[in-house]
Amino acid sequence: MGKKGVLLVNLGSPDSTEVKDVRRYLDEFLMDERVIDIPYWKRFLLIKGIILNVRPKKSAEAYKKIWWKEGSPLVVISERFTKKIRDKIDLPVALGMRYGSMSMEKAFRELQEQNVTDVYLVPLYPHYAMSSFETVVEKAKELLEDSFKEMQMDVMAPFYDKPDYIKVMAQHLSKELEGFDYDHILFSYHGIPERHIYKGDPTGSHCKLNGTCCEIKSEAHKTCYRHQCFETTKGVVKELGLKEGTYRNSFQSRLLKDPWLRPYTDHELEAMPEQGIKKLAVITPAFVSDCLETLEEIAMEGKSEFLSFGGEDFKHISCLNDDDAWVEVMVDWIEKWKS
Ligand SMILES: C=CC1=C(C)c2cc3[nH]c(cc4nc(cc5[nH]c(cc1n2)c(C)c5CCC(=O)O)C(CCC(=O)O)=C4C)c(C)c3C=C
Ligand SMILES: [Fe+2]
Ligand SMILES: [Fe+2]
């Protein structure tokens, strides 16, 4: 039997808020065929010819608003989380990022230097999406094949409905809501193009995005991001006994013109005050650590949008980050794999 080790993988961030670093990061990210899934030549023209001329400047401004003195919140939080896991587990634990200079390759190398041959790959995404979970797994397979042939790996499955994950989310939410007199909770998930859902449907016909397919038992749900997001909400709602009509789901962060999963978060934020919702809590369960999409898009932009449309109070619920109870849950899952 070989030596075991753990590789935690998150998305990654630019090295700094300088436009050139943001451009390099976006180039790698958006040229990924599982993120922008169009033929290579079209992607090349779209990304290199159009998006990389405008987006880096805009994104760099957004990153500047949330950047910490230690660096990108997503990276710093992932490092804190990793350190806590390391302190509780008697195995080599490395952290890598799918994009950016803290690469997965460096993380595999770190494990290799400690003679690890059996790797537990942990994509830090609760839900399966081609553009998040799948691209991490495929990149890992590619690296093993090319450079780490002595290693084999197991992959932690998406944990969107695992009872201990739901419980820790529910406990975290209710703690964060203490003292906040809310009348509605918005579960805002990172969006994906609708096309990704159809592409990922192994049955070829189950997913119709018609409001009911995600409720009908199907093989397709193993890779259906929409179903998995709804299940996370259902689990948390059940655990906390939230009443129908006091919460809803939405999808944020869309890019480009194709239809993405709906309802869109920004549309909901604008509509809610007119529906009588004045005090809103927003939870972002697609992210295990706070990042640009939660700290800027929701906690800053989302809040100001909601207030400008007549909302009175707004609270962004932080992600699980390096919460001790969440660390315990992850440690337990790793221990189960180890034994
Ligand atoms: C087609 C574009 C994108 C898809 C599909 C997509 C899916 C997706 N992303 C995350 C998690 C994160 N995304 C983050 C930032 C971000 N996402 C996109 C585009 C797509 N994401 C862009 C262009 C950016 C960069 C910032 C910007 O220019 O707006 C982040 C934050 C990174 C950080 O440094 O803080 C996360 C996390 C998931 C989980 C997902 C599919 C479900
Ligand atoms: Fe994203
Ligand atoms: Fe579905």
The verdict on 176 and 308 lying in the same domain is yes
Pocket of ligand 1 contains residue 129 by CB under 6 Å: yes
Contacts of 289 (CB under 8 A, 6+ apart): 10, 73, 74, 77, 78, 81, 124, 319, 320, 321
Residue 192: inside a domain, yes or no? Answer: yes
Task: Please give the pLDDT value at position 281.
Answer: 98
Task: Please give the pLDDT value at position 118.
Answer: 98
The verdict on 149 and 208 lying in the same domain is no
Ligand nearest to the Cα of 214, by number: 3
Domain end position, chosen among 108, 134, 158: 158
The verdict on 122 and 167 lying in the same domain is no
Indicate which atom in ligand 1 lies nearest the CA of residue 286. Answer: 39
The verdict on 186 and 65 lying in the same domain is no
SS (H, E, C) the chain: CCCEEEEEEECCCCCCCCHHHHHHHHHHHHCCCCCCCCCHHHHHHHHHHHHHHHHHHHHHHHHHHHCECCECHHHHHHHHHHHHHHHHCCCCEEEEECCCCCEHHHHHHHHHHCCCCEEEEEECCCCCCHHHHHHHHHHHHHHHHHHCCCCEEEECCCCCCCHHHHHHHHHHHHHHHCCCCCCEEEEEEECCEHHHHHHCCCCCCCCCCCCCHHHCCCHHHHHCHHHHHHHHHHHHHHHHCCCCCCEEEEEECCCCCCCECCCEHHHHHHHHHHHCCCEEEEECCCCCCCCHHHHCHHHHHHHHHHHHCCCCEEEECCCCCCCHHHHHHHHHHHHHHHC
Residue 112: inside a domain, yes or no? Answer: yes
Mutate to test the pocket of ligand 1, among 224, 293, 300, 320 (most ligand atoms within 8 A of CB): 293
Residue 326: inside a domain, yes or no? Answer: no
Domain end position, chosen among 158, 193, 225: 158
Residue 293 known to bind ligand: yes
Task: Please give the pLDDT value at position 226.
Answer: 96
Residue 327: inside a domain, yes or no? Answer: no
Interstrand relation of 152-155 and 184-190 (parallel, antiparallel or unpaired): unpaired
Task: Give 56 Cα–ligand 2 centroid separation in angstroms.
Answer: 14
Residues forming beta bridges with residue 153, ordered by sequence position? 119
The verdict on 139 and 196 lying in the same domain is no
Mutate to test the pocket of ligand 1, among 8, 10, 11 (most ligand atoms within 8 A of CB): 11
Indicate which atom in ligand 1 lies nearest the CA of residue 297. Answer: 29
Task: Please give the pLDDT value at position 210.
Answer: 78
Q: What residues are neighbours of ligand 3 (ion), with CB under 5 Å?
A: 207, 213-214, 224, 227
Task: Please give the pLDDT value at position 211.
Answer: 72
Task: Please give the pLDDT value at position 256.
Answer: 84
Task: Please give the pLDDT value at position 257.
Answer: 85
Task: Please give the pLDDT value at position 171.
Answer: 98
Residue nearest to atom 26 of ligand 1 (CA): 59
Q: CA–CA separation, 283 vs 208, rounded Å?
A: 26
Domain end position, chosen among 107, 139, 158: 158
Residue span of the structural domain in which 108 resides: 4-158
The verdict on 247 and 116 lying in the same domain is no
Residue 325: inside a domain, yes or no? Answer: no
Residue keyed to tokens 């369960």: 285
Pocket of ligand 1 contains residue 197 by CB under 6 Å: no
The verdict on 232 and 188 lying in the same domain is yes
- Number of folded domains in the chain? 2
CATH of the domain at 179: 3.40.50.1400
Sheet strand arrangement including 93-97: 93-97, 4-10, 118-123, 152-155
Q: pTM higher than 0.95 for the full model?
A: yes
Q: CA–CA separation, 227 vs 160, rounded Å?
A: 10
The verdict on 305 and 185 lying in the same domain is yes
Q: Could you list the pLDDT tens digit for every one of the 339 residues in the chain?
A: 799 999 999 999 999 999 999 999 999 999 999 999 999 999 999 999 999 999 999 999 999 999 999 999 999 999 999 999 999 999 999 999 999 999 999 999 999 999 999 999 999 999 999 999 999 999 999 999 999 999 999 999 999 999 999 999 999 999 999 999 999 999 999 999 999 999 999 998 898 887 789 999 999 999 999 999 999 999 999 999 999 999 999 999 999 889 999 999 999 999 999 999 999 999 999 999 999 999 999 999 999 999 999 999 999 999 999 999 999 999 999 999 999
Task: Please give the pLDDT value at position 137.
Answer: 98
Q: CA–CA separation, 230 vs 285, rounded Å?
A: 11
Residue 330: inside a domain, yes or no? Answer: no
Task: Please give the pLDDT value at position 87.
Answer: 98
